[in-house]
Every structure is written in C-alpha cells, then in structure tokens.
Amino acid sequence: MSTITADTASSKTIRRGPIIAALLIGAFVALLNQTLMNVALPKMMEDLKIAANTAQWLTTGFMLVNGVLVPISAYLVEKFTTRQLFTTAMMLFSIGTLVCAIGSGFEMIMVGRVIQAVGAGILMPLMNIVFLRIFPIEERGKAMGLMAVAMIFAPAVGPTLSGWVVQNYSWRVLFYIVLPLAIFSMLLGMKTMQNVGKLTSPKLDKPGVVLSTLGFGGLLYGFSDAGTDGWGSTTVILCLILGIVSLGLFVWRELTADKPLLEFRIFRYNMYSLTTVINIIVTMAMYAGMILLPIYLQTIRGFTPMESGLMLLPGAILMGIMSPITGIIFDKIGARWLAVIGLAITAITTWEFSQISDSTTYTHLILTYTARMFGMSMLMMPIVTAGLNQLPQRLASHGTAMSNTLRTVGGALGMALFVSLMTNRTKSNITDALTSGAVSQTDKAAMLKLTQEATINGITHAFTVATWVTVLALVLALFIRKTSPQPDFLKTEEEDAVQPQPNKVKSQRA
C-alpha cells in the first residue's frame, strides 16, 4: 500500500482548541437530535397519522444507518482528509435536518432521518480518532472526558428539551433548534479544522461492506423490532438469523483479508477485549434507565413529558460536570478503581429502581437517578480509553470503529432486552390474574389497577435483571489494568497488526 502524506499539521502546529470546539458542537448536536425524537414520537404519530410500528422507524432507521456506517469509518479516515470528512458529515446532517423540518409526510421525514444518520455515522467515529491523534497518551483521559460531555450530556438533556417544545410548540421546532447549531459547527470546522494523520490509498473491501451491512443491520433491526413485536416474531427471528450468519461470514473474511475493513485481530490485545465487553454491558444498563423510567413516569404515574424529562436533568448536568474531572483522575490513577466505584454506585442505584412502586416519590426518583448518573460518569470514557491505550496509534481507527459498532449493537440489544422483559412479565401477570379469576375483564376499574400493578412489576423485574448485569461488569472491572501502546517500530505493519507482543509491553511498563 502506498502511503501519501496529507497536508497534516504536525503535533506542534495543531491548534487543538478550534478542532475540539467544532467536533464537540457537531457531536452534541448529532446526539441531541437522536434523543429528541423519543418524547416527540407520540405527537408525531398523531400529526402524521401513523401507527407506533411505523413511527418507530424514525429512531430505528437512524440507529440502523449509524450501525452500518461505523465499520467503514476506519477506511474513510485513511481515504479522506479530516477536513473533508468533517465538512461532508455536517453538511449531510444539516441537509437531513432541513428535510425533516419541512417534511410534509412520514416518507419525506424518514428520508431526512437517513441523511442525518449518514452524517452522524461519519462524525462520531471521526471525533474519537481525531481526539486520540491530537492528544498524547498521558492526556487522553482528559480528552475523553471532554468528549463525554457531548456523548453523555446531550442524550440526557434531549428528553427535557423535547418535552418542553412538544408541550408548547410544534415538534418541527425541534429540528429548527438543531439546524442552526449544525450549520454553525460546519462553518467553524471549514474555517478552523486541520488535517490529522496520514492519507493512504486503501482499497474498499466491498464484500466486507455487504456482509457487515447485512450482519450489523440484521442484528440491530432484530433487536430493535423485538421490543415491539416480541422475540417470537417471524421477522425478528429471520433478521437475527440473517445477521448472525452474515456477521460470521464477515468475521471470517476480515480475519483472512490482507487489508480488512474492520480489524478483528485487535481482540488479541487483552485489555482492549476486556474493556469492550464491559463497555457493552454498561451501555445496556444505561439504556435500561433511559427507556424504563419514562414509561413508568408517564404511563403509570401520569407525569407530563416535561416532568419526565426534568427528572433526568440534574443527573445530566452532574454527568456533564464530572466527565472532564473523571478524565483528569483517569490520567493519574487509571481506569480500574474509577470503574469499580462507578459500577458499584450504578449497581446499588439500579437495584433501588427495582424496588419502585406506585407511591415512590418524585424526589426519591430524582435523587436515585442523579446518583446513578454520577456512577455512570466514572465509567464510559475511562473504560473505552483504557482499552484504546493498549493499541498502537495506527490501529486506533480500527479500535474506535469496533468499539463504536459494538456499543451501538449493545444499546439496541439493551433496549430490546429490557423492554421485552418488562412486556413479557406484564403480560404474564395480567394473564395469571385473569385465569385465576381474581379480576374480571368487565370490571374496568379493577382492570386498570391490575394493568398498572402488572406494568410496575414488569419494570421492577427488568431493573432487577439490569442490576445483575451491572454486577457482572463490576466483577470484570476488577481485572482492568493500566497498559501502554505497542511500539510500532519493532515489526512490519502487517506483522504488528497480528502480534500484540505482550512481553514487550510488560517490559516497557516495567
């Protein structure tokens, strides 16, 4: 492979401030846009006259396109300059946002969401890779802490903002709020973005693209649709089979290819593999709270979307404040004890949610959720960074692409798993009560009470499972240790990609 040096600024001439600002604003807007839809969907269903299964595509479709694009990000970063990719990503995202804002029907809005997702699918991996390249390893914790402000703060603030807008204005205002921010980020990037890294002339693994699209797309759609139609649905089963078979073929191809689309051999780096598993579990646990609590607040307790969103706000603010601080602490002590303490807090607060009832106070819910977010603030970026720190610099793009892909799959799996657990337990409780004759279907008041009690039981059951999932991550976190990147000069590029050289790493740390 011939290597072409791009007009890449050296580390001494890179002005990190403008690059960070443009990337963080873009990421914040992309993630904010993704979470705004959750609270707005019921109102959009009413205005557009569409059913819930159809409306869900506005979020599922966005997730699917993101999941499909992430594996290609490592190729794109080597093929195009940083400025080209960032400008293209924000331009596509802005165009998609405008299409959504003016869309007259579901089909047009769906097209806009897909265009948005293409832009976001390029932007998020690009931000990870650029941050890893412009910050030295001793400052990566602080860098990842800054990134976490966008990646965690935006999804938590989204429901509050969306609830307020939908309650007082048209849901289209949501897109008009996002659009100027996206355009500003694009213009800032066009003016200040510097190219980072080197360009090569990689060949696109087209069969790999097809297999990864079918594999990740099939799994993501299967997991997402299972939350609506159930795990026994023919569509869900076929999608999961297609996804698993295609993903198996994709892994086999990438392991045997000279220039793989996604480098699966990075899993020979033990800390990267361990932290990736923990990251998937943490993402699943995080989605349990984000999905189940709004259902409990609005369906059972009768709170408005605004009140439901406000409950998440203190935790979001605390998380945004703590993320940079956590990054600085990570640079000093590493990820192990941050992860252990954070997961212990997360496990305790998740268990607390498994004890909620129809009389749990709003104040108790806010305090518990805020404490849970405090624990989460110690987890996401330190765990990811600890794994990526073991990889040589030139494998950072592959590590980032793999981590983002599996986190997306983990998020979809988490949503489907916990919603399915809640739904199945709720249905089971209602069926048992009706079969035993304890409640008559003709007694509307008794049926309403039964449904509420069954739903609460379903939610607490899902949170109980989420607690044990978190405990599993806590046990795994005890094995995290501090690592250093592999030296690139010891082997050729191809050999080093395959051999992690653990002995040399140990001697380097010693």
CB 4 within 8 A of CB 80: no
* Whole-prediction pTM: 0.71
CB 341 within 8 A of CB 350: no
Q: What would the two tokens of residue 461 be? A: 């059951």
- Residue at a domain's end among 182, 203, 224: 203
Q: Are residues 211 and 288 in the same domain?
A: no
In a domain, 4, yes or no: no
User: What is the domain extent for residue 106?
Assistant: 10-203
CATH number for the domain that contains residue 377: 1.20.1250.20
pLDDT in tens, the chain (510 residues): 434 444 444 444 667 777 778 888 888 888 788 777 767 777 787 788 876 656 767 776 777 777 777 777 777 877 888 788 888 999 999 999 999 988 888 889 999 998 998 888 888 778 877 877 777 766 666 666 667 666 666 766 777 777 788 778 888 888 898 899 899 888 888 887 777 767 677 777 788 888 888 887 787 777 767 656 767 788 888 988 998 999 899 889 888 877 777 778 888 888 888 988 898 888 888 777 777 787 788 778 878 777 777 787 788 778 777 777 887 787 777 778 888 999 999 999 999 998 988 888 888 989 998 898 888 888 877 888 788 777 877 777 778 778 877 777 777 677 767 877 887 788 888 887 777 776 676 767 777 787 888 888 888 888 999 999 999 999 998 888 877 665 543 344 444 444 444 444 444 443
β-bridge mates for residue 89, sequence order: none
CB 309 within 8 A of CB 159: yes
Total tally of structural domains belonging to the chain: 3
Q: What would the two tokens of residue 167 be? A: 């309650």
Q: What would the two tokens of residue 34 be? A: 């993704």
In whole angstroms, what is the distance from residue 194 CA to residue 55 CA? 40
Q: Are residues 187 and 213 in the same domain?
A: no
Q: Are residues 419 and 270 in the same domain?
A: yes
β-bridge mates for residue 3, sequence order: 200
In a domain, 286, yes or no: yes
Distances (CA, A) of 269 to 272, 484, 496, 502, 503: 6, 11, 12, 8, 12
- Residue at a domain's end among 260, 279, 306: 260
Q: Are residues 21 and 135 in the same domain?
A: yes
In whole angstroms, what is the distance from residue 138 CA to residue 332 CA? 9
